[in-house]
Amino acid sequence: MTSSVMMSEMTWPEYAAALESNPVVFLPTGALEQHGPHLPMSVDYLLPSAIAREVATEVGGVVAAPVTYGYKSMTRSAGGPFFPGSTGLDGATLSAVVRDVIRELVRHGARRICVLDGNYENLWFLNEGIDLAMREIADKGVRVMCLQHWEFLTEETLAAVFPDGYPGIELEHAAVLETSLMMNFHPELVRFDKVPDNEAADAPCYDVWPPRREWVAPEGSLISARGASPEKGAIIAAQYRRDITAAVKREFYELG
């Protein structure tokens, strides 16, 4: 029996034993939504789960089962509601799920919790859920960190991954970043021959309701992922492993 850092692969006695050392417990959050014709709809929770597994291995942590549904796909950042499969939660629902899961992790004994997100639109609803949990727990011994993995990308990594310039995270949906990371962590799930060759999405700097279908390429990618590769994925993953580990150690062990 190999030891795992994944809560979902543990028995309850293994999980209870793992929590005795007051480890950092990672909560991956994401979404179930379209990622073009070449990536599975699970990208936004598979990537933070894989990154959390690597960082947890570095810091002796535990990775809780992911929150697999997230906030709604917005048209300018993820294609909107035009694609079968994109399954969004209301913001209040996502906040409530995060609040409840954190409260449960704390009941299990967790005191160091790192929410590691993979869906751009989740951020403020995660913050709200964490804030509600902290208010409910009212325990000064609990510390929570919340991060979105792309915020850790350095200039050096961006230069290596985007030699023609970084288009910005708003367009990086099902594009070079996510496709390269999937080629690194889950190559069997990438249909690289199906990568569309679309131009960058050209939406204005505001939203409208109902959303406009013409703001999104028919394939669902906001910009082409043709420049993706497993080598780029490995560069990003290694930098994440180094820098997210350092941030987690700093917040939970060095600053106290």
Nearer to Zn ion, 23 or 122 (CB): 122
Assess contact for 24 and 59: CB atoms under 8 A: yes
CB of 222 to Zn ion, least distance (A): 10
Nearer to Zn ion, 43 or 105 (CB): 43
Size, binding site for Zn ion by CB under 5 A: 2
**CA-based max dimension of the chain:** 54
Report if residue 117 touches Zn ion, rule: CB under 5 A: no
Residue with tokens 């014709």: 37
Nearer to Zn ion, 4 or 87 (CB): 87
Residue nearest to Zn ion (CB): 44
- What is the rounded distance in angstroms from the CA atom of residue 67 to the CA atom of residue 56? 17
Nearer to Zn ion, 31 or 56 (CB): 31
- According to DSSP, the residues that pair with 172 across neighbouring strands are none
- What is the rounded distance in angstroms from the CA atom of residue 158 to the CA atom of residue 136? 40
CB of 25 to Zn ion, least distance (A): 23
Nearer to Zn ion, 44 or 54 (CB): 44
Please select the residue that binds Zn ion; options are 34, 44, 46, 149, rule is CB under 5 A. 44
Over the window 157 to 196, marking each residue x when it contacts Zn ion by CB under 5 A and - when it does not, the resulting string is: ----------------------------------------
Q: What is the DSSP string of 166-204?
A: ---GGG-SSSHHHHHHHHHH-GGG--GGG---PPPP---
- What is the rounded distance in angstroms from the CA atom of residue 193 to the CA atom of residue 195? 6
Nearer to Zn ion, 42 or 95 (CB): 42
Among the residue ranges 40-48, 93-101, 106-114, 129-137, the one whose residues contact Zn ion (CB under 5 A): 40-48
CA distances in angstroms from 248 to 8, 192, 201, 240, 254, listed in the order given: 22, 33, 35, 11, 9
Residue with tokens 């629902």: 93
Assess contact for 38 and 192: CB atoms under 8 A: yes
CB of 110 to Zn ion, least distance (A): 27
CB of 229 to Zn ion, least distance (A): 18
CB of 12 to Zn ion, least distance (A): 32
- What is the rounded distance in angstroms from the CA atom of residue 222 to the CA atom of residue 60? 37
Q: Which residues bind Zn ion (CB under 5 A)?
A: 43-44
